C-alpha cells in the first residue's frame, strides 16, 4: 500500500514553468506514466491538480498527466473537474449576486485598465486575472484595484503571483476547492501529499501530511516544506514523486 493515496500539485512553477516558455513534454509524459502505474500497481499516489488556471487549461494538463481518477481544482476553487465522469462542478457557494459583482469588476477593468495595456486572462468564470508585459507597472495598479473593490463593496480579495494580479471572491479559494475535492474522495489528511511553489500554495500545505517544493519555489514557502528538491519545475516534481512512492 502506498504511504499516500493522492498528491495535489500546483501547475505553474511545478508541472510547467512560471514563464510563457514551452512545457517539458517529455517530463510530463513521465508524470503520466507515473499516474498510469499508480492506478495499475497501487504503489504510489495519483497526481492531481490544484491551480488558479482556468478550467479548460487545467483539464488539458490533467489529461496530459493521465489523471483519470481524482478530481482537480481549477480557477482557485471556482471549478472542480471530475475526470471519472467528465463533470464540471461550479462551487455551489457562488451565487448569482457573486457573478454580477465579478461581471461589474471585469467591466471596470476593461474600461479603466485595459486601455493601459493590461490584459484579462481568457477563460475564467468567477474571477479576473490580469497581466501586463511590465510586471512592475501591473503591480503598481494593485492598490487602485483594492480601493475600487472596497468602494464598490464587491467583497473580493486581490492577490498577486510572480506575474499576475488575481481578483477573487472572498469565500472561494484553493482551500475551499481542496475541501470539496477531499469530500468527494473521502481521503484523510494522513494519506495526502502536495507540491507547490508560491505562498498561494499554503492551502495545499495545510491540507496534506507531506508537502514538498521544487528548487524554484518561494523561500517563504520552502520554510513550510517537508522536502525541497534540488531540481526546478517539473524536474523537481519528478524527484518528489520518487520520494513518495510506496
Query: What pLDDT does residue 170 have?
Result: 96
Show the domains of the chain with their CATH numbers. 6-92+172-243 (3.40.50.1000), 96-169 (3.90.1070)
Grid cell digits, residue 94: 457562488
Percent of the residues in the chain that have a pLDDT greater than 70, as a whole number: 100
**Mean pLDDT within 191-217:** 98
SS in 3 state form for 159-213? EECCCCEEEEECCCCHHHHHHHHHHHHCCCHHHEEEECCCHHHHHHHHHCCEEEE
Once rounded to an integer, what is the mean pLDDT over residues 42-57?
98
What pLDDT is attached to residue 197? 97
3-state secondary structure 52-110: CCCHHHHHHHHHHCCCCCCCEEEHHHCEEEECCCCEEEECCCCCHHHHHHHHHHHHHHH
Q: For the segment 152-192, what is each residue's pLDDT rounded down to a tens digit?
A: 999 999 999 889 999 999 999 999 999 999 999 999 999 99
pTM (whole model) above 0.85: yes
Q: What is the pLDDT of residue 20?
A: 86
Quick check: 46 pLDDT over 70?
yes
The Cα–Cα gap between 113 and 82 comes to: 35
62-100 residue pLDDT tens: 999 999 999 999 999 999 999 999 999 999 999 999 999
Q: What is the mean pLDDT of residues 232-246?
A: 96
* Average pLDDT of the residues of the chain: 97
Q: Per-residue pLDDT tens for 103-143?
A: 999 999 999 999 999 999 999 999 999 999 999 999 999 99
Amino acid at each position: 500500500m502506498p504511504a499516500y493515496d493522492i498528491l495535489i500539485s500546483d501547475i505553474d512553477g511545478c508541472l510547467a514553468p512560471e514563464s510563457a516558455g514551452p512545457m517539458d513534454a517529455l517530463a510530463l509524459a513521465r508524470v503520466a506514466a507515473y499516474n498510469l502505474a499508480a492506478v495499475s500497481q497501487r504503489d504510489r499516489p495519483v497526481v492531481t491538480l490544484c491551480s488558479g488556471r482556468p478550467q479548460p487549461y487545467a483539464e488539458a494538463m490533467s489529461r496530459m498527466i493521465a489523471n483519470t481518477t481524482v478530481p482537480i481544482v481549477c480557477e482557485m476553487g471556482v471549478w472542480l473537474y471530475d475526470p471519472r465522469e467528465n463533470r464540471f462542478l461550479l462551487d455551489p457557494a457562488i451565487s448569482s449576486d457573486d457573478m454580477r459583482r465579478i461581471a461589474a469588476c471585469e467591466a471596470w477593468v476593461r474600461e479603466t485598465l485595459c486601455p493601459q495595456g493590461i490584459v484579462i486572462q481568457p477563460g475564467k468564470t468567477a474571477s479576473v486575472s490580469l497581466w501586463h508585459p511590465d510586471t512592475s507597472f501591473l503591480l503598481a495598479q494593485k492598490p487602485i484595484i483594492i480601493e475600487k473593490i472596497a468602494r464598490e463593496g464587491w467583497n473580493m480579495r486581490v492577490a498577486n503571483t510572480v506575474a499576475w494580479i488575481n481578483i477573487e471572491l472572498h469565500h472561494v479559494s484553493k482551500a475551499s476547492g481542496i475541501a470539496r475535492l477531499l469530500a468527494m474522495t473521502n481521503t484523510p489528511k494522513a494519506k495526502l501529499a502536495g507540491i507547490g511553489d508560491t505562498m498561494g500554495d499554503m492551502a495545499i500545505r495545510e491540507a496534506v501530511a507531506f508537502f514538498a517544493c521544487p528548487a524554484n519555489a518561494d523561500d517563504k514557502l520552502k520554510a513550510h516544506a517537508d522536502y525541497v528538491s534540488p531540481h526546478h519545475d517539473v524536474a523537481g516534481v519528478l524527484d518528489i514523486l520518487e520520494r513518495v512512492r510506496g
